[in-house]
Amino acid sequence: MTTPLRLGIAGLGTVGAGTVKIVRQKAHLLAVRAGRPVEISAVSARNRDKDRGVPLTSYAWEDDPVTLATRDDVDVFVELMGGSDGPAKAATEAALKAGKDVVTANKAMLAVHGQDLALLAEANGRVLRFEGAVAGGIPIVKALTESLAGNEVTRILGVMNGTCNYILTRMESAGLPYDTVFEEANQLGYLEADPELDVGGIDAGHKLAILAAIAFGTQVHFAGVELEGIGKIVIEDIRAAADMGYRIKLLGVAQMTGRGLEQRMSPCLVPATSPLGQLEGGTNMVVVEGDSVEQIVLRGPGAGEGPTASAVMGDVMDIARGLRVSTFGQPAATLTAAQAAQSATPASYYLRMNLKDRPGALAKVATVLGESGISINRMRQYGHANESAPVLIVTHKTQRSALNEALTAMGRTGVVLGDPVALRIENL
């Protein structure tokens, strides 16, 4: 009889329970496809008595995930606890040192410690796989490390946080303000325990840093990701963007430039007719541009029990079949230290501001932009209210540093009320 692949699963939350369900319910299918049975030997979680909707009594239980990771009857340690440090990191390191392969869905741990863990895995002749860590059920890691390995990737971009995409599309479709939709998302259980991980762009920034490492052969450099969340987006921005043929997305963009590695996670305007512009609800989308393949688009559910457990099991099945791939698509020792770009690639920008309702106010703003070397592509002015005049401006391509200089100078004109909003326009 063919030797089974034995799993030790640490973390029995939504994804962990979903993984157990797949192993139990699809046992015959997995065995046929892998050429060997896939079984669970032992599990670990904080609460032994919690009902997780799946039987666990047939598996050994370990209170300590490190002990689970080093059991003799575990071939693959499946880390689904989460957290950049603590038990997740300790157990992952212990598993690799004990000669176990590791499958994880822990984006935070990989974004912070990915290089060290990759070196540890390779030093011990093990593999560390993490399809479930990025974009849920979308097989983007496998696509980059395997299917697109013959390409020089020029740019990777996408919507990588379903919660933010839900909030922004819900604001638009229902005409609701940010705070209302934020609370709605919270009641539906879409937000992390610390909501800033979602709406602040941190969760999506972790994913972008991981993908950039694979795409450009660099060490993971989360500290180099420019982060800006969606908390400042108001319904007026949503409506104005739509009026001009755009939609607002929390967009991650990574590209290698002559100035270094550019990594941005921020609200951007994208053409409403583009694939990203048409993305609705909690769905994720990743766009990869390569020199040979040109552009491909991958779309699918970015979180949840089924989609993420599906990704976890994809990694498990690769190991069961004997497929061995370097953590980030090439030996960790060959990954170069990422040099963060000091300035972003030039782009057009959307500007929203309130001007004092007085003659010459708009002319002063136009003069400031001109003195900073920024030309206006188009402009719209909406109805006056309370002695203020809402104005929207779309610029031609410019450096963000020049725009920041102009925004500072606008504050000295005496005609701008409050802080202007500036959002990058990303063309596809």
CATH code assigned at 86: 3.40.50.720
CATH of the domain at 247: 3.30.360.10
- If you search the block for the tokens 């040109």, which residue do you land on? 294
pLDDT at residue 88, as a whole number: 97
pLDDT at residue 428, as a whole number: 83
Q: Catalytic site residues?
A: 207
Vertex 188 angle, CA 182 and 191, to 5°: 55
335 lies in some domain: no
86 lies in some domain: yes
The alpha helices in 26-137, defined as continuous H runs, are: 27-34, 65-69, 86-97, 107-123
pLDDT at residue 157, as a whole number: 96
281 lies in some domain: yes
Domain stop point among 73, 104, 135: 104
129 lies in some domain: no
pLDDT in tens, 337-352: 988 887 788 999 999 9
Could you give phi then psi for residue 18, rounded to 5 degrees? -65, -35
Could you give phi then psi for residue 130, rounded to 5 degrees? -155, 40
CA distance 152 to 211: 14
CA distance 178 to 170: 9
pLDDT at residue 307, as a whole number: 93
pLDDT in tens, 170-209: 999 999 999 999 999 988 888 888 899 999 999 999 999 9
Cα–Cα distance list, 428 to 238, 288, 356, 362 (Å): 19, 11, 36, 31
272 lies in some domain: yes
Spell out, as residue ranges, where the chain has pLDDT lower than 50: 1
pLDDT at residue 344, as a whole number: 81
pLDDT at residue 173, as a whole number: 93
In a shared domain, residues 168 and 279: yes
Q: Are 256 and 224 in contact (CB under 8 A)?
A: no
pLDDT at residue 85, as a whole number: 93
pLDDT at residue 41, as a whole number: 98
In a shared domain, residues 99 and 243: no
In a shared domain, residues 152 and 35: no
In a shared domain, residues 176 and 291: yes
pLDDT at residue 385, as a whole number: 65
CA distance 168 to 172: 6
Torsion, CA 90, CA 91, CA 92, CA 96, rounded to 10? 100
* Residue ranges of E strands in 312-357: 348-356
**Helices 14-25 and 305-320, axial angle in degrees (round to 10):** 60
377 lies in some domain: yes
The alpha helices in 124-193, defined as continuous H runs, are: 140-142, 162-174, 178-187
128 lies in some domain: no
Please give the distance of CA 139 from its chain centroid, rounded to a whole number: 13
Neighbouring C-alpha atoms within 13 Å toward the C-beta of 97: 10
Q: Are 356 and 375 in contact (CB under 8 A)?
A: no
**Helices 162-174 and 235-243, axial angle in degrees (round to 10):** 80
Nearest to 103 by CA among 126, 125, 70, 135: 126
Neighbours of 363 (CB within 10 A): 10
CA distance 164 to 185: 9
CB contact set of 50 (below 8 Å; sequence gap of 6+): 12
Three-class SS of residue 251? strand
Q: Which domain holds residue 157?
A: 143-302
CATH of the domain at 385: 3.30.70.260
Domain count, the chain: 3
338 lies in some domain: no
